[in-house]
Structure 1
Amino acid sequence: MPSSYSVARFFLPKSLKISLLLFSFCFMFCVHNIAIVNRSFVLHSIVASVARYIRIPTSNEIHQNPAFGVVSFDSFNLDYKINNVTCCVVKKPFLVIFVKSQATNFEQRAAIRRSWGDSQTWKIDAAYEFIVMFIVGLAEKTITDVQRKLVHENSKHHDIVQINVVESFYTLTYKLIGQFKWVTKYCTSAKYFMTTDDDVFVHVQNLVTYLVKFEEKNLYLGCVHSGSPPIRNPSSKYYVPYSVYSGLYFPDYCPGAGYVLSLHSLQLLFAQASSLPLLYIDDVYAGLLANIAKIKPTVSLRFYCEFRVPDDPCFLQYFITSHSHSATELLKMSTVVKSTEQGGYLCREKIFFREVLRFPL
């Protein structure tokens, strides 16, 4: 009986053999020339992707490590220093959008209120009203006068929720749980919840139109990262040691630049939070909670992950989130989006080739 190599050598077309040989050569050349630190990550990424593809299970466990702020806590005892408990009493929103912001980011919040966060920007039926809330932490003690300004800002707009935790990279997940708790306690009239960042432009009209067609009870919607490996390089701020998480790859998750949960999904995730130590990478943590709750993320290419929407009328009328915008750019985007005309067949074709087939245009 001939070996598998002999069979492959006999049956594979010559062109495919050459392609495989060139791919192997290029792969080994690239890996050899990547810096040692990056080479390790590249190889780890390949292993993680293969492991997920062939369905090797990964871990759902986070192990406590106080040095990294990875601790268990009682989510129900998370306190608010500033709160607005009647927002969903005055309105009965279809959608509540929480924007993660730093206490000092006054300009970003002002720009959102004047751009995509202003209901006058969009033509949305009253039955599908939305509200925008901002969640912040405590400013560092070295930054003076911030709290006074924040209280004044909230007295004017009534849209800030402040958790009683000092702002830092390692407390981002507290903001996530703070959002879950607030919606669970004060806004169960909403059908959907979105979390996003204050440098993201959200096309609320496209989002609402998109959500109206969903009837899924356990919705977890956005751009989806699959088979992402933990970064094991100690010099990275996203470093996750094996002692904290031992899995080859993280469960599928939606990047924190913007994703949507149904109210039921949010409540299920919140229920799991008290039993899973807080991993400081908040979007990965949400993915872990969802995986434990057996909720699979639904991918939508209209969420642009950590990227900006292309500056093209076809994509500007189609997207839901666009990342990395300054306050000035958020205001400009609002004007551009409102002036964008609806396209026809060529737009649909362009979007199909770029977003579905991933061809650059």
Structure 2
Amino acid sequence: MARPELTPANRLWLCLLTVFLFCSGSASADERVDRIQNFLFSARQTRRAFRDVVSVPRTSTVRILAEGETVALGTVVASDGWIVTKASQSANATRVELLDGRQVPFKLVGTHQAHDLAVLKIDAPPLTPVKWTEQSPPLGGWLATVGTNVDPVSVGVLSVERRQIPRSAEHGVLGIELEKEETPRIRRVFPNSGAADAGLQSGDVVLEVDRQLVASSQQLVRTLRRYRPGDTVSLRVRRNQEEFAHTATLTHPFGDFLSRIAFQNQMGGALSFRRDDFEAAYQTDSVIAPEDCGGPVVDLNGQAVGINIARAGRTETYVLPADLIIAAVADIKSGKLSPPPAPTADSATQTTAVGAPGK
């Protein structure tokens, strides 16, 4: 009688059962606790248990590169070279790295700004498209973030069912400190900020924001707080007796600009630049980096429930559902959505910022 073939899901449960039996047996209670804790807190061992689950979908995963560095993952959606990824994370990208290590240029076909998706096209031999499932995963169910290695990037559980992710009320920061006077004069420019990137200096006086006159420090603060992270503003600045025009890009608060809650969120690692205002998303507790967004997230059968679209907090990662991706890709491929001006990548936010603290 032929032995029945084990599915990836069954193999995973068999692996976990083996671990459970290993952690029980004749060992003392303290020894069993130590063994269980050593396993649970070993990310490598946990990911290894999901190796069979991601063995097929990893062939549908690529890396998106900018200047030779990975800035995002991508998911193959058609065998003739169509790839979907996170738009804001891959804005500065120039090449795609395939599973075999080859790096090829791509064409940006279009973007879906509401979903923060970009569709790329490459010329390559037939690729393996990902297998989607539009069935919602169960609350508490295991999900794996697929990369290009044999083990998944991360594993976690569905912690919040599909829901809308509202637009955040968070305002952008310019990365300056103002003098304690009526005139909007810059006292300090924070390193690695949008102000620094725009060339602003201590002693500069901000005269206009987007052609709106700024008469006082308070007005400057109120004006900037109307903008969101990611917005680009034009500035007119006076330095000594000369006036200059600058542009700066607003980002999420950082450093001295962070609230206590925001600081705690960032303790779990870097967060995605665009991490709010999604029509729908699953929420998982998977720990990923912003550059892991864009790749498939699969259930225990190796089917993609969606792609990671944002690292949003210490215990929050958002997954864009498969049905929204399928519809958006179809619209882009049909020509309904063409490429807009390039959005700001997560990596760029490390060198650009906008706002003024202490007011």
* TM-score normalised per structure 2: 0.23
Structure with more of its chain in helix, by fraction: 1
